[in-house]
Amino acid sequence: MERIERTALSNLIHNEEYTRKVLPFIKEEYFADRTERLLFTEIYKFVNKYNSLPTKEALSIEINGTKSVNEDEYKKITDVLSTLNKEPVNYQWLVDTTEKFCKDRAIHNAILGGIQILDGKDKQHTQEYLPEMLSSALSVSFDQKIGHDYLTDSQQRYDFYKKKEERLTLDLEYFNKITRGGIPSKTLNICLAGTGVGKTMFMTHLASSILLQGKNVLYITLEMAEERIAERIDANLLNVGMSDLEELPYSMYETKINKLQSKTTGKLIIKEYPTASAHTGHFKSLIKELALKKSFKPDIIFVDYLNICASARFKAGASVNSYTYIKAIAEELRGMAVENNLPIFSATQTTRGGFVSSDVGLEDTSESFGLPATADFMFALITSEELDDKNQIMVKQLKNRYNDPTINRKFILGVDRSKMRFYDVEQKAQTDLVESGQTSTTDKNKFGKKLGQFSDFKI
């Protein structure tokens, strides 16, 4: 029966592309048979010394001059050599199968080595070495990418420019404008606002709209109970005011839920953790558990909210200042977004000064300026009595890695607080905003006052 070891050895002396790809990753200990192991060792030495593939004759001569090989072993090796003929084989299959062989053998050898350590037969290593040994075996990979070669990889770079990046489209026109079509994966997006302005309302609105697109949404809350988050999403999706939900008959409620289920193929999972008790380690375990028990893989994650998460790396109060601690949480969340290939939305509070500011900036981020340094996209929600009277809220871009943040730096959204919903307003509201000079803190706005004169703005 043909074995991958023989197929690999054959291609190592006949297929240069294959040899260049896999030789750096194959180790002689992966070959259980001594004859094949000796043959591989000579191939490896020849390629490294002469930078070319050896012939059968060259290998035969090299092995014949090896003192550790006796006459019987030499005969076995030459017999194996005679069977290593060039045969057509699918290149990608060959690489994939060789990689699997290397992984399997690395894990097999690690387990055997672990038994030797536990039995006390390995005098060089202690039991503390076991995790490192298994981790090294599990990380075996043929990934050779070690950087982008600017000149030789120009075609790949051009293809990247032309490739349309997959983004999660939002149901708010101006947010799609400023993000160039939606939120890309592997990003951390932050909403900055003061208490009661609408951080949770904004995130539950986005969660609702993305669910309607047939996407899977994971909403992690550390501030409110799961039922309270679900209540806000009910108000948004079922088109029922928050105050009316309690009075809604169950038959009508069930009808609305069934109608909603017929509109989407997505799922929305809400998970509550005690305040300041959970970090990305818990969130990653949750993702794995949901995949196992519910076959649920999120397309986006909401974390409500960042400042009351715990850090997986630091213990709060253990000689760690707030700048380092909050920055660590932000980095861990962004790392989780990259690891799971999805966007993460979260929120943060303003400082006391930012709470009454008419023109909030990144410097008004509470506790840590390391958060905006880590985020890919950050915006503020700003309200005032005048805006409240019009059922409107102002959005200001603070940081934007997707687009030029000076384009549509500020814009207006409509807000229906009873139904926990945001909506696009008429273009006139945006035009009035620009004409009023609200892109500048010194110009007059449509209410006839300078922005700097407002004292009742809330962020």
442: CB partners within 8 A, 6+ apart:
450, 451, 452
Q: Are residues 132 and 183 in the same domain?
A: no
Average pLDDT score over the chain: 85
Q: Helix 199-212 and helix 226-238: axis angle, to 10°?
A: 60
More confident residue, 314 or 228: 228
Total structural domains in the chain? 2
Q: Are residues 252 and 365 in the same domain?
A: yes
Tell which of 122, 138, 154 closes a domain: 138
Count each helix (H run) and each strand (E run) in the chain, helices first.
19, 11
Q: Are residues 130 and 180 in the same domain?
A: no
**Which amino acid appears at position 208 of this protein?**
S
Q: Which of 195, 422, 187, 457 is nearest to 305 (CA)?
A: 195
Which H, E and C letters describe 46-74, residue by residue? HHHHHCCCCCHHHHHHHHHCCCCCCHHHH
Q: Are residues 123 and 209 in the same domain?
A: no
Query: By the 8 A CB rule, do 178 and 400 touch?
Result: yes
Q: Are residues 312 and 440 in the same domain?
A: yes
Domain membership of residue 144 (yes or no) is no
Mean pLDDT of 413-441: 76
pLDDT value at residue 176 = 93
Domain membership of residue 252 (yes or no) is yes
**Which amino acid appears at position 241 of this protein?**
G
Burial grade of 183 (CB within 10 A; 0-12, 13-18, 19 or more): buried
Range of the domain at 73: 4-138
Domain membership of residue 156 (yes or no) is no
pLDDT value at residue 300 = 96
Q: Which of 390, 426, 359 is nearest to 174 (CA)?
A: 426
Sheet holding 268-272, edge to edge: 268-272, 217-221, 300-304, 343-348, 187-192, 377-382, 392-400, 410-416, 421-423
Using one digit for the tens of pLDDT, what is the confidence trace for 30-89? 998 899 999 999 999 999 999 999 999 999 999 888 888 888 888 988 898 888 998 888
Sign of the Cα torsion 149, 153, 154, 159 reads: negative
Which of the given ranges, 142-151, 308-317, 376-385, has the highest pLDDT on average? 376-385
Predicted TM-score (pTM) of the model is 0.65
Q: Are residues 421 and 280 in the same domain?
A: yes
Using one digit for the tens of pLDDT, what is the confidence trace for 259-301? 999 999 999 999 999 998 899 999 999 999 999 899 999 999 9
pLDDT-based confidence at residue 305 (cuts at 50, 70, 90)? confident
Domain membership of residue 158 (yes or no) is no
Q: Are residues 110 and 171 in the same domain?
A: no
- 447: pLDDT strictly greater than 70: no
Q: Are residues 424 and 336 in the same domain?
A: yes
CA distance 340 to 175: 23
134: CB partners within 8 A, 6+ apart:
107, 110, 114
Domain membership of residue 97 (yes or no) is yes
Q: Which of 261, 268, 259, 264 is nearest to 232 (CA)?
A: 268
**Least confident span in 11-25, 107-121, 161-175, 311-325:** 311-325
Mean pLDDT of 8-29: 90
Q: Are residues 47 and 191 in the same domain?
A: no
Domain membership of residue 282 (yes or no) is yes
Q: Are residues 241 and 385 in the same domain?
A: yes
| Beta-bridge partners for 383 | 458
Domain membership of residue 391 (yes or no) is yes
CATH of residue 180: 3.40.50.300
Half-sphere exposure of 42 (CA within 13 A, CB side): 27
CATH of residue 81: 1.10.860.10
Q: Are residues 187 and 101 in the same domain?
A: no
Domain membership of residue 234 (yes or no) is yes
